[in-house]
Structure 1
Amino acid sequence: MAVGRFGKPDRSESFGEELLGTILDRADELPPHRVGLVVAETVARLGGRNPQILLQDYGQQRLVPLLAEGLTGGEPLSIDGSDAGRCFLTSLPVELAVEDGVRVHVALLDGGVLAVTLDAVDEEDRRLLRRIAGLVADLLQTKNGHTDLFFRTRRGEPMSVAAEIQWALLPPLAMTMPRVAVAGVLEPAYDVAGDSFDYALNGDTFHLAVIDAMGHGLDAATMATVAIGAYRHARRIGIDLPEIYLFMDRAVAEQFAPDHFVTAQMLELDTTTGHLQWVNAGHPAPVLIRKHRVMGRLDSPTTLPVGFGGAQPQVSSVLLEPGDRVLCFTDGLIEEHESGQEQFGEEQLLDWVNQLEKTDRGVRAVARDLSHTLKRARGEATSDDATLVLVEWRG
């Protein structure tokens, strides 16, 4: 620690502090459409030019340039096969020699990439760009509730009202922490209705729920909203898994006709020990993946779907090993079929999991590739919602 006169710590402003302070000091009252201008001014002080903020589209196929003052536009980039896409999927910086210097890509951990060109790059540049990207990601997340700009950038095609409701309900699609990582995918991205998921990390406990409301359209989206809202409320008041099911069951039964229901699965993971507990309400069993190989299904006793007044569910448990992954999915992932043909089936699902897990990548990349690969293998058919969530206990 630098020490100034009279033995006090040196509190004079360094270049790095001043640079990051350019963003921090203006963040509270910064209009969303001027985020790009502040980013451009900040990286320009590093000698950077042509800054881009690239946001993941809802279909998780492309990275789309945010069109805002100070930022460079351009065509959307495919996540597969592009340098920006590689940065996005790995969360690691990617540098590319270009005609006028070095194009640097740094991940925005809530779903995008910051790209900027410099004459040359050293370790101090990398450190400052990484910290700038962290601030920009937080800024985008904070301002997202104040504007439609980011939503419009990410929306690659018309979206149904039901899908808008579902996307507004979701937590971030991916989260990576020292002990746990999670990533989810919903298909069809622009017309999803009844599928949803929610998660939270409270202290050492990771909570997850995956649901599938019956039907399609606004009715299914409304039912999913009630189910997730009830789950969050029950989770936040600290009741146990069986009571969470009963709370959700009552909420759905009180709001909808007797023949309406939601299949659900609620899990809790102790991130210090790897102890996983779950209850199943008419949902497909999760799949356990160990050392990049499917170990089998986590079969367990099940109760009736939410809304049908089932018995209090039995809690099942398993002790995970560091690096284990648990795949949760809705039935749309395996029941799709062409007219008169057999269903896609769980065996094909497990075969594809084994193939894609061999690549030894993070959960975000595997979950995305698995969803898109399965969609192609189903002949691009999406007559029902198809959702998957992949959780990794990192130990």
Structure 2
Amino acid sequence: MTVRGERCGVLVVVLPSDLATPGATEELADIAETLGHALRVADRHTDLYRRTRRASALSVPAEMQWGLLPGQGCADAGFDLHAYWEPSYTSGGHVLDWCVTEEELTLVVANSTGTETPSALVGNLALNAIRNARRAGLDLVGQASLTDQALYGQHRGERSLSALLLSFARDTGEVRVIDAGSPTVWRDRAAVTERIDLERQLPLGMFEDTVYAAQRLRVLPGDRLVFVACDRGEPPPGGDTALDRPVRRAIERTRGTACADAPRAVVRALREEAPGELPDDVLVLCLDWHGRRSAE
């Protein structure tokens, strides 16, 4: 048995061909699941594992962010989902969340202005409001509305959150989406990369009692969606052309990259494609959609 490497916090173990029997693979999967649960429980009672994961000290906003976000990846029979953000150790403005059920995958990608503590506080309030609404059974519009009210009630429009909220029906690939700000979503389908044009609505918390409406899309097995959130302010109606071209080229350059490695690869390619154009504060999330393969 050899360890091939670590990607996005996932340790990849390769069994020799003579040992890679179905029984051995199933046994190792059970061990891995048990170990994962044990580490998850232990993580609540000690700082040992969190300290080990860090290459350097975090800023206070980053500490708030790391403690709030669900992680950097989630894999399922129907999809692969992975994220990467910079600066990882000093940023506090990125907001990322997902929830998986048998029926749907819900996803939030957002960016609060700046990287300091006020931005982290905005993101913290927004994400807890979204989770509260979701766990209360509210749909996507209800989640956006409750979060909008929570942010406006606290900041009276002085601080807002640019966000994309999405809900994927796992059986059909139908997507409901609310575009409330500047994060963009790109689709790579059949070797064609294009930005999905959405009806942009007001950022969450900008005005009192904003009315939001969900749009509908559809994803197909084999689609790759790439979400890009960075602090460049609100783009013009036609999109941020100065950034759109390098984003498209970066996604095309990394098309053959595994989903777990794609977000970091896209950020690196963007730095090369548009030197000096990309803000220091950037979040990239990659979603590879497989469809309901578990039903086959």
TM-score (norm 2): 0.85
The equivalent residue for 1:178 is: 77
Q: Which amino acid in 2 is paired with 1:166?
A: Q
Find the aligned partners of 2:122 and 2:144 in 1 and give their Cα distance.
15
Q: 1:306 aligns with which of 168, 184, 204?
A: 204
Q: Which has the higher contact order (CA 8 A, sep 6+)?
A: 2
CA deviation string 1:175-194 (max 9, x = no partner)? 11111221111110001111
Assess, with a 3 A threshold, how the Cα gap between structure 1 residues 278 and 114 changes in structure 2: closer, same or farther. Answer: closer
- Which of 234, 239, 260 aligns to 2:138? It is 239
Distance verdict in 2 for CA 1:321–1:383, change over 3 Å? closer
How do 1:188-267 and structure 2 match up within 5 A?
Answer: 188-267=87-166
* Alpha-carbon distance between aligned partners in 1 of 2:68 and 2:115, rounded to the nearest angstrom: 17
CA deviations on 1:16-56 (whole Å, 9 max, x unpaired) are: xxxxxxxxxxxxxxxxxxxxxxxxxxxxxxxx9xx9xxxxx
CA separation in 2, counterparts of 1:222 and 1:242?
Answer: 23
CA contact (8 A) 1:271 1:393 kept: no
> Are 1:139 and 2:59 an aligned pair?
no
Are residue 319 (structure 1) and residue 218 (structure 2) matched? yes
Q: C-alpha root-mean-square deviation of aligned residues, in Å?
A: 3.0
CA contact (8 A) 2:187 2:226 kept: yes
Q: What per-residue deviation string (whole Å, max 9, x for no partner) do you get for residues 222-258 of structure 1?
A: 0100001111111111212222111111111111243
The answer to whether the 8 Å contact 1:328/1:390 transfers is yes
What do residues 86-130 of structure 1 show as CA deviations (whole Å, max 9, x unaligned)? xx44xxxxxxxxxxxxxxxxxxxx823276999x96236953444
Which of 351, 366, 378 matches 2:262? 366
Are the equivalent residues in 1 in contact too, given 2:109–2:183 (CA < 8 A)?
Answer: no
Q: Which has the larger radius of gyration?
A: 1
Contact 2:230–2:279 under 8 Å retained in 1 = no
Distance 1:363 1:116 in 2: 19
Unpaired runs of 5+ in structure 1? 1-47, 52-82, 90-109, 336-341
Compare 170-179 and 139-148 and name the one that shifted more. Answer: 139-148
> 1:356 corresponds to which residue?
254
Q: CA deviation at 1:276?
A: 0.9
Structure 1, residues 270-295: CA drift from partner, whole Å, max 9, x if none? 0100001101112233111113431x
CA shift for structure 1 position 218: 0.6
Q: Distance in 2 between matches of 1:153 and 1:379?
A: 33
The 2-side partners of 1:138 and 1:372 are apart by: 33
User: Using the alignment, how far apart are the partners of 1:377 and 1:368 within structure 2?
Assistant: 14
What's the secondary structure of 2:51's corresponding residue? helix
Would the alpha carbon gap of residues 115 and 265 (structure 1) be closer, same or farther in structure 2, given more than 3 Å must change? closer
* Stretch of structure 1 that moved more, 363-372 or 192-201: 363-372
Partner in structure 2 of residue 281 of structure 1: 180
Compared CA separation, residues 177 and 261, structure 1 to 2 (3 A): same
TM-score, structure 1 as length reference: 0.65
Q: CA deviation at 1:198?
A: 0.3
What's the counterpart of residue 347 of structure 1? 245
Cα deviation for residue 154 of structure 1 reads: 1.1
Q: Percent identity of the aligned residues?
A: 24
4+ runs deviating over 3 angstroms: 114-118, 123-126, 128-131, 332-335, 375-384
Structure 1 residue 211, shift from structure 2 partner: 1.2
